[in-house]
Structure 1
Amino acid sequence: MQQPTWRRIGPALRGTRPARRGIALGSVAALALAVTTSASTGRLMEGAQSAAGSVALARGTTLGPCMISGTMGVQMTEGVPTPPGYSRSTGTIRALNLMVDFSDAPGQGSAMDRLAEFFPQTSEWFRTSSYGRLDYRPESPLPDWLRMPKSFEEYGIERGAPFDPGYRTLVEDIVATADPDVDFRAYDFVNILITPNAGPSALDTVLSVTFAGNHEAPVADGVPVSNASFVYSRQDDGSGSYRETGYRVLPHENGHVFGLPDLYTQDGGGAVGHWDIMSEDWGANNDLLAWHKWKLGWLDDDQVGCAASSGTTEHTLSPLARSGGTKLAFAPLGEKTGYAIEARTRGGNDEAVCKPGVLVYRVDAEVDTGHGPVTVSDATPDSGGCTRRPNVHAELSDATYGVGETFTDRKTGVRVTVAGVTDDGDYRVHVTRP
C-alpha cells in the first residue's frame, strides 16, 4: 500500500480566520476506492462495504441516477455511498478521548476541564444535526493528562506536517502510554485533545487535523488507530463567544472520520460560506448541507427527490432545521456531478441564517477535499451579504433564493424556481431540465 498522503490548505483570504490544515488522508488505496454499485439497482456489489450508515444500503432505481460517484484517486469524494474505511455515522458510536500534554507544554488546569470544552456540546450538535440518528458517546477512561515521553518540539508537528514521521511517532507513544488502561477495540475513533499551550495559537496557525481511513496507522489491541482527530489550541476569536462556539472545531474534525471533505479552499470559505461546518467552523453555529446528511445516512430515501428526467418536477422541501419531510432535491448532470436544492431557515444548528430560503449548490464527486467539491450559487452576487457576525462569510449569507426567484444554469439548461411557501413553512420548488 502507498504511504499515507495529506493535503495542505493555504492561507485564508485577508480578513478571515486562519485557514485550517487540510485533512490528512490515509493511503490512496484505502480512501479513494470507489464502492462499486450495480448500474441497474444501485445496490452495493457483494463484498463491498461502507462505514457511513444507511446511505450504503440498497437503493431503489429512482435514486440511482442521483447517486453520483468519483473515480478511484479522488480524495474524500462527495460521491454516494461513502467509500469504506471511515467510522459509522448512524446508531451509537463510542469516541475515545485522550487529553495529552508534554514536558515542554505541561497541561494547564485539569484534563477534564479540557474535555469539558467540547462535551456535551459536540454530542448535542450531532444529535441535532442527525435528527437523533447518531448517538455520540464520548468516553474518557483516563481522567488525567497523558504525558508523552518526548517533548512537543521533538515530534516536529507543524502546519502541513504529514503523518510520517511525527504523527506516527506521536500515535505510537500515545498507544504505548495509554494501552495498559485502555482497550482500543471498544471505540469507533479517537479524539486527541492536546493541551492548548502546545504549539501556536489557533489565531495564528491552525494545527487541528484528522487522519481518516488510515489503515497504515499504528495498531492498538489488534486494531489500527485509523480514524483519529487531533485538536490543538483554542478557537477563541476574542469576541467573548468561546464558551458557546469554541467546541465546533471537533464536529468539523469528526466530520472527516465520517468521510466528509473540507469545503473551504486555498482562498478560504468563499465556495460554501457558513452553510456547512465543513466550510467554516469558527463563529456562530451552523449545520451540514442536506447532501452531507444524505451521505451520512441521516435522511431516508423518501426524503430525497431525484430530478433526473426531462421536464419539470415539483418538490416540497421542509426546512433542514426541522425533522421529517423532504429535505433534498437533486438534479444530476451525469454520473459525477449535479445540483442539490434544500431549504434553510434559522433553527436547530443553523444559528446565523439571516435570509431564509432555498439554497442551490453544485456537488462534484470528482473534486478532491479542500479543492472546492461543493459550490454554492449566490442569488444576490456582490451584495455584501446580510450578516456582520464575526467569522461568518458575509457575501454568501444571502445566497438563498426566495419566492419567485429562479436559478438558471445556462450551459445545461437546468432551472430551479421557488414557486411558493406553504402554511407550514415548506418551500415549493420547481426543477426544470431539457
Structure 2
Amino acid sequence: MPQVPHPEVAVPRQLLVRRLTRPGEWPRLRSAAAAATSLSALAATSLVAAPAATADTGPGPCRLTRTAAHHSEGVSSWNGAYPRPRRTLDAVMVFLSFPDSGPLLTPRTLAADHFPSTTDFFERASYGKFRLRAHPRSSWIRMPRPSTDYEVRRDWKSDRRGAYLRDALAVSDPHVDFAKYDIVYFVADPDAPGVDSDATKVVNFEKPMRADGTDLRRIVTVFERHPPDRNVLAHETGHVFDLPDLYHRPSDGKGDWDTFVGDWDLMGSQFGLAPDFFAWHKWRFGWLKDPQVVCVQGGQDVTLEAVSKSPVDRRSRMRRDPATELASGASARAATGVGTGASTEARTSAGVSAPAGAGGQVLGAGVRVAARSDGAPPAPGGAHPSAPHGGSPAYAPPPSPPLRSMLRGNTVGPVRAPALGRRAPVAAPAPGKKLAVIRTGRDSVLAVEARSRVGNDRTTCTEGVLLYEVRGEAASGEGPVEVVDTHPDTEACWGDSVYPPLADAPLRTGESFRVPGERVRISVHGRTAEGDWKVRIRPE
C-alpha cells in the first residue's frame, strides 16, 4: 500500500514543492544503471590498476555548501534557525481535548505511544551524543471550540490551521512555561470527531509566535491515532533539526512515494525496514566527526563500519522494559509554570480541563523531539527473509528478530517511574570510518556507506554497501538524496519493503559496480571479523 506522507507547512504561507520530479539533467539512477552499468563477481582483473591513497585527505573538499534551499543538505555550516541535536534537548507535550468529545485515553497512555521508543531511536542513531527528553503534561487542556470547527486535514487550510494554533497556545500558556523547552508538541485527542491522523506535521512560522518571553519558530501538531504510526515522532524530529523530506510526491497523489530512497532513511519513510539516518545526515548533525569521513580523490581502499553500529546498541539488551522509561517526578522538570509574558492573537484561558498546578513528567533520557511532516500509510505486510543477501565466510551476522514483532506498534499501558541510577553511561562512538564521499560536481557528491542488520537497521531487508547521490541545492521533497540501485533488474522483500525495487540496492560481498554517469567503480571485496565492509573505490 503506498505511503502517503504529510508535507511540512509554513505560516502564513505554505512551502510548496516546486518540482515533483527530478530535472531532466538528473536521470533516474535505477533506469540508467540497467542500461549503462555492469555488476559482476569481483575478480582481480575487474579493477583498474590505480594506487590506493596512502593517507586520508580529510573531508573538506567533499563538503557541500549549504544553500537557500529549504532543508538544504549542505554541510558547510549549520542553519542557526534550527536546534542542533548534539546535546540534551527538552520537549513539552501538551494534550488538547475538545468540547464536542470527552477523551477516552489518558495523556500518559498517549505519551507512552511515543516514548521511550523515540528517545531510544535517537540515542542509537547519534551514538549516544543526542539525548531526547520529553515532558508530557499529566492532564488534558480543553480547546475553546469543537474539533470540527478547525477542519483538520492533511492539506489544512491556512486560516483554520492558524486558528487552531492560536487557540492551542492561548489555552496552554497559563499552564506551561514555554521558555523551558526546545520543542513543543500539541497532541490532539485522537478520538475527537474532527481529528484527522493524516494531518500530523511540523508547522514553521515565518514570524515566530511568542509565549513566556520566547520565540516559537515551529510547533509540531500531532493528530496520531492510537496506537500511532511507528517512528512518526522520530521522522518529525528530523524536520525540527532541518532534515528534508526524502520521499517523492506524485503530482496526481497516486503511485509510489518512495522512489528516491526506499527503505534507507527515516526521512524517506517512517515505515522503512532500514530507517536509520544516512551517514551524511549524521555528519551534518555532528554525530560523525571529520576523521570518520573519507573524501576520496583518486583511488582508495577503505573499511567502513555499518552506519548503525553503535556502543548504544550493545547495551540495548540490558535495558529495562519500555513501559518503565518515564523518569520519576524528582528528576523531571516541572511543567506547571504559569506563563506571564505570552502574547498571542487570540488569547483565552477558558476551557482548561487540567487542574491548576497539574505537573508534567519527563519521558526517556533524551533529547528534544520533533514532529512528523510526512504522513505514511500502514506498514506493508508479508514475509521477511531470515538471512541477508550475500554472506561472507569471515562474518556471521546476528540473527534477525521476527519482522512482525519489529513492526508492531509501540507498547502501550500504565507507565511506572523507574529506579534511578540503573542506566549505564553511553560510550563514545567507535573511531572507525562510517562514510566515504566522492565529489561529482559543484553541488553534488556520491556517498558510500555500509548498512547491516544492527541497531536501528535491525529489520533491514538486505545488507551491504549503499551508494547514494546528494545534491545541496535540491529542496525538501525535490530529491536531495537519491539511492543508486546496484541491482536494477531485481527486487526484494515484497510485502514488507516500502519500495521493493530499492530494497536490494546495496552491493554485496564480491560485487563490483560502475556508477552510471560517473567514472568511478565501487567494489566490495570482503568483511572483517567484526563485520565491517572492505570497499575499493577506483576511477574508471
TM range, normalised to the smaller chain?
Answer: 0.7 to 0.9
Q: Show CA shifts across 1:105-163 (max 9, x none).
A: 442211211111111111111111111011110002x311121112222223322226x
Q: Secondary structure at the match of 1:136?
A: strand
Query: Residue 421 in 1 paired to residue 527 in 2?
Result: yes
Query: Residue 374 in 1 paired to residue 481 in 2?
Result: yes
Return the TM-score normalized by structure 2: 0.65
User: What corresponds to 2:425 in structure 1?
Assistant: none
Query: Residue 152 in 1 paired to residue 147 in 2?
Result: yes
**Distance across 2 between alignment mates of 1:201 and 1:228:** 17
Q: Show CA shifts across 1:174-201 (max 9, x none).
A: 2221112211111111122222124466
Q: Show CA shifts across 1:339-388 (max 9, x none).
A: 11110011101132132110000011111111211111112124121x24
Deviation, structure 1 residue 22:
1.2
Q: 1:23 to 1:369 in 2, by over 3 A?
A: same
Letter in 1 for 2:164: L
Moved more, 114-123 or 226-235: 226-235
Q: 2:207 aligns with which of 196, 210, 216?
A: 216
**Distance across 1 between alignment mates of 2:246 and 2:101:** 32
Aligned length: 371
Deviation, structure 1 residue 299:
0.8
Deviation, structure 1 residue 408:
2.0
Return the TM-score normalized by structure 1: 0.80
User: What corresponds to 2:63 in structure 1?
Assistant: 67
**Distance across 1 between alignment mates of 2:279 and 2:12:** 28
Query: Residue 251 in 1 paired to residue 234 in 2?
Result: yes
Q: Percent identity?
A: 34
C-alpha contact 2:464 2:507 (8 A) present in aligned 1: yes
Query: Residue 78 in 1 paired to residue 73 in 2?
Result: yes
Q: 1:405 aligns with which of 502, 508, 511?
A: 511
Deviation, structure 1 residue 296:
1.3
Deviation, structure 1 residue 284:
5.0
C-alpha contact 1:21 1:207 (8 A) present in aligned 2: yes
**Distance across 1 between alignment mates of 2:159 and 2:196:** 23
Q: 1:235 to 1:360 in 2, by over 3 A?
A: farther
Q: 1:268 to 1:200 in 2, by over 3 A?
A: farther
Deviation, structure 1 residue 286:
2.3
User: What corresponds to 2:498 in structure 1?
Assistant: 392
User: What corresponds to 2:258 in structure 1?
Assistant: 269
C-alpha contact 1:235 1:249 (8 A) present in aligned 2: no
**Distance across 2 between alignment mates of 1:218 and 1:169:** 13
User: What corresponds to 1:322 in structure 2?
Assistant: 309
**Distance across 2 between alignment mates of 1:315 and 1:371:** 31
Q: Secondary structure at the match of 1:20?
A: coil
Q: Secondary structure at the match of 1:273?
A: coil
Letter in 2 for 1:90: R
Q: 1:430 to 1:26 in 2, by over 3 A?
A: farther
C-alpha contact 1:88 1:188 (8 A) present in aligned 2: no
Q: Show CA shifts across 1:183-229 (max 9, x none).
A: 11111111222221244664xxx2111124x3513211122221322
Q: Show CA shifts across 1:317-352 (max 9, x none).
A: 001121321111111223311111110011101132
**Distance across 2 between alignment mates of 1:285 and 1:96:** 28
Q: Secondary structure at the match of 1:176?
A: helix
C-alpha contact 1:168 1:218 (8 A) present in aligned 2: no
**Distance across 2 between alignment mates of 1:88 and 1:220:** 22
Larger radius of gyration: 2
- 1:19-30 matches, cutoff 5 A: 19-25=4-10
Q: 2:96 aligns with which of 90, 100, 123?
A: 100
C-alpha contact 2:274 2:460 (8 A) present in aligned 1: no
Query: Residue 179 in 1 paired to residue 173 in 2?
Result: yes
C-alpha contact 1:319 1:342 (8 A) present in aligned 2: yes
**Distance across 2 between alignment mates of 1:270 and 1:169:** 36
Deviation, structure 1 residue 70:
4.5
C-alpha contact 1:114 1:195 (8 A) present in aligned 2: no
Q: 1:251 to 1:125 in 2, by over 3 A?
A: same
Q: Gapped runs of 5+ residues in structure 2?
A: 16-55, 250-255, 311-429
C-alpha contact 1:20 1:207 (8 A) present in aligned 2: no
Q: Secondary structure at the match of 2:267?
A: coil
Q: 1:380 to 1:208 in 2, by over 3 A?
A: same
**Distance across 2 between alignment mates of 1:298 and 1:261:** 18
**Distance across 1 between alignment mates of 2:527 and 2:11:** 45
User: What corresponds to 1:119 in structure 2?
Assistant: 115
Letter in 2 for 1:250: L
Q: Secondary structure at the match of 1:22?
A: coil
Q: Show CA shifts across 1:380-405 (max 9, x none).
A: 124121x2454632221111101232
Q: Secondary structure at the match of 1:333?
A: strand
User: What corresponds to 2:453 in structure 1?
Assistant: 346
C-alpha contact 2:190 2:226 (8 A) present in aligned 1: no
Q: Secondary structure at the match of 2:280?
A: helix
Letter in 2 for 1:260: L
User: What corresponds to 2:271 in structure 1?
Assistant: 282
The Cα RMSD (Å) is 2.4
Q: Secondary structure at the match of 2:287?
A: coil
User: What corresponds to 1:52 in structure 2?
Assistant: none
Letter in 1 for 2:508: G
Q: 1:62 to 1:335 in 2, by over 3 A?
A: farther
Q: Secondary structure at the match of 1:153?
A: helix
**Distance across 1 between alignment mates of 2:460 and 2:518:** 30
Query: Residue 170 in 1 paired to residue 156 in 2?
Result: no
User: What corresponds to 2:31 in structure 1?
Assistant: none
Q: 1:410 to 1:275 in 2, by over 3 A?
A: closer
Q: Secondary structure at the match of 1:430?
A: strand
Q: 2:125 aligns with which of 125, 129, 142?
A: 129
Q: 1:279 to 1:105 in 2, by over 3 A?
A: farther
